[in-house]
Each structure stands twice: as C-alpha cells, then as structure tokens.
Amino acid sequence: MTVRLASLLGTSLFAALTMSVTPAAAAERPVVIELFTSQGCSSCPPANAYLNEMVRQRRDVLPLAFHVTYWDRLGWKDPFSLPAATDRQARYGSRFGDGSYTPEIVIDGVSGHVGSNRAEVGPAIDRARRASATVASVKLSRSGDKLTVEVGAGEGRGRVLLVGFDRRHETAIGRGENGGRTLEELNVVRSVRALGNWSGTSLRLNEPMPDGEDVAVLLEAPDGRIVGAARL
C-alpha cells in the first residue's frame, strides 16, 4: 500500500509540475504585426484579409491595423485614418529606407514587407518568433474604465505605448479605388499614445481607457524594436 501511495503521489506531483510549466511556455509574448493600410488603396484588401486570418487563427501574434491618412485626398476619406498611424509608418520608412507605402506589414518593429506577400511575411513572422527579444514582462488589467499597466524589471530602456483598437468594422466604400466594395477589417487601431519611459526598473501605471474597444500595450526599444507586448 505504501509503495502504491508513493507511486500515486509521484504521478500527481509530475502532473502538477507539467501543468505549471506549460502555461509559462504558452505565456511568451506575441509577435507584434502592424499593417499600414487604407480603405482608399485598391492593393490593401488582400493584406487586410491576411491580417483578419491572423486575428482569427493565431494566438502567437498581435495583429494591429493602422490606417494612414495619405490616401484620404484621393477620392475616399478613410473614417479610421489616424495622423499617429501616418507618423508611425514614416518613422519606420526612415529606418528601413523604403519610405511609406500601402499595404505594408512591419513585424516586431524589425522588418517591413509588402502586406499581401504571404510567401515573404509568413516566414518573417516565424523568424521573428524564434528571435523575439523580451527584455521585461508586460501586464495589462482593467477595472471599470481604468487600466493598470505593469512593466517588470529588466535590462535596457524603452517607451511604453498604449494602443486602443476596435475588434471589427464593416464599411461600404462609396468612392475611390475600392468604390462599391464592402470591407471587413479587424483590430482597427483607433488611438496611440505614449505613457512614459521605462529604464529597467519595475513600472506601474494607472490610465484611463483609450479610444477603442480593446487595448494593447507595446514596449518599444530606442531603436524601434518591440521588446514587450500584452493585450487585455
């Protein structure tokens, strides 16, 4: 009986340890996928569809659709276009040396790609997942209309960004290059703002909810790489 009990206890302990390890492995931060797009761009719907697939099918990425403003004067004003999206892409364009274009997917702040080029973007995401740098844990919680953002201790420096986004929009396009089409778009960014700087010590911030139904927090290194991320 004693041997049998020890065996059972050992089996239970092994199972408990296994269960405790698995969630930790699964809790690795998602690769951040930023699609720069516009409803006025006829080349963008295939990239939008690709991002939608990632939203629905993958848990290892955080896909976000940033609608830029520079198409708004060409026949259709995108209701979700943001100057902050245009500015963010311009900074990437300066770093990558390829300017601003749509559709562009930026992966983890490291590399830019034509957003509809699945043969290139898919392997780039896989490479980013294997090489992703996480310098500190990032946690996000909500109580009513208040958010708590926590960045753990770690090495390096970074900027904490709060991103508000809507989960889904369906828009009938009246004019421009996509006139007559109805576009379904997921994870549409509605607001972006910097909360402050992180310098290696633990940081806790209390913030109001931003514009948007859902929220993500990005930790961005001085060179523009994403080194931490979380969403509600």
**Is residue 28 classed exposed, middle or buried when 0-12, 13-18 and 19+ CB atoms within 10 A define those classes?**
exposed
Average pLDDT rounded to a whole number, residues 191-204 = 97
Tell me the residue type at 136.
Answer: A
**What gap in Å lies between CA 138 and CA 151, rounded to an integer?**
5
Going from N- to C-terminal start, the domains of the chain cover: 29-231
**What gap in Å lies between CA 154 and CA 158, rounded to an integer?**
11
The residue among 198, 215, 189 whose CA lies nearest residue 106 is 189
**What gap in Å lies between CA 32 and CA 133, rounded to an integer?**
12
Can you spell out the DSSP letters for 9-77?
HHHHHHHHHHHHHHHHHHTSPPEEEEEEE-TT-TTHHHHHHHHHHHHHH-SSEEEEEEE-STTTTTT--
Contact in structure between 93 and 109 (CB atoms under 8 Å): no
Strands (E), the chain: 31-37, 61-67, 104-107, 111-114, 138-143, 146-151, 158-172, 182-198, 203-208, 214-220, 226-231
Beta bridge partners of 154: none
Instruction: Report residue 14's pLDDT band, with 50, 70 and 90 as the boundaries.
Output: very low
CA angle 82, 87, 91 (to 5 degrees): 150
The tens digit of pLDDT for each residue in 73-114 reads 999 999 999 999 999 999 999 999 999 999 999 999 999 999
The tens digit of pLDDT for each residue in 19-57 reads 333 333 334 899 999 999 999 999 999 999 999 999 999
For residue 28, the model assigns a pLDDT of: 81
**What gap in Å lies between CA 138 and CA 12, rounded to an integer?**
32
Contact in structure between 36 and 71 (CB atoms under 8 Å): no
For residue 10, the model assigns a pLDDT of: 43
Beta bridge partners of 93: none
Q: What's the Cα-to-Cα distance from 195 to each of 13, 150, 181, rounded to whole Å?
A: 43, 11, 38
Q: Give the range among 107-111, 128-132, 210-214, 218-222 with minimum mean pLDDT.
A: 128-132
Question: Which tokens go with 153?
Answer: 């201790």
Q: What is the pTM of this model?
A: 0.88
Peptide bond preceding 45 in cis form (omega within 30 of 0): no
For residue 1, the model assigns a pLDDT of: 39
